[in-house]
Amino acid sequence: MLNDNPIPANTLANDMANDLRVGDPLPIFDFEVSAAQVFMYSAITWNRHQIHYNQAQARAEGHADIVVQRGLLGNLLVRYINSYFDNIYIETLAWKVVSSLTPGQVIQCTASVIDISGSGWQQALRLHLSLKHKERLICDASAAIRGRHRADVLVPYNWGSEGV
């Protein structure tokens, strides 16, 4: 199950450069992905590769158990970023899986600030992120995020306003 421990949300719009410095670590966030989540992720992404839902096939291909998808790991990274920062755009997110992860293994997401630029709602951060199981690196990642200005927010069209 994904850990629902709250991480205090910060907002880049409040000029986080006053609080964060290059090299600062962000809080550690623990995740545990279940076999059901792996199966459901395969279903919603139309991923038919059996190593993600068939234990016998995963073992036949040399894995200890079914394998967590690369995309699901990326979703965990996005969840981590959105759990810590409020009101931001993730401009880029790149990650490389270097080791397989199987359901039931607790992984930790860690991050540190590698660059800060701008101020106010134009402030941008670059982050280095890692997903690890114990000390084994699962995924190495980088992200660029920036504050979101009110003008950037999409407002849904009100279909009832024109008497249609």
Q: What is the pLDDT of residues 129-143, one digit of tens each?
A: 999 999 999 999 999
pLDDT band at 154 (very low <50, low <70, confident <90, very high): very low
Nearest residue to 32 via CA among 117, 133, 143, 123: 133
> Which residue(s) pair with 110 in the sheet?
130
Q: What is the pLDDT of residue 5?
A: 41
CB contact at 8 A, 124 and 144: yes
- Residue 15's alpha-carbon distances to 10, 12, 121, in angstroms, are 10, 5, 7
Above 70 in pLDDT, residue 80?
yes
* Proportion of the chain above pLDDT 70, given as a percent: 77
19 phi and psi angles, rounded to 5 deg: -105, -35
How does the average pLDDT of the chain come out, rounded? 79
Quick one: fold of 10-151? Answer: Thiol Ester Dehydrase; Chain A (3.10.129)
Give the residue ranges of DSSP H helices in 11-146. 35-44, 55-60, 70-84
Above 90 in pLDDT, residue 65?
no
CA 106 to CA 23: how far, in whole Å? Answer: 25
Handedness of CA 97, 98, 103, 106 (dihedral sign): negative
Residue 12, classed as helix, strand or coil, is helix
Q: What single-letter amino acid sits at 78?
A: V
CA 49 to CA 42: how far, in whole Å? Answer: 8
Q: Where are the domains of the chain?
A: 10-151
Cβ neighbour number for residue 68 with a 10 Å cutoff: 27
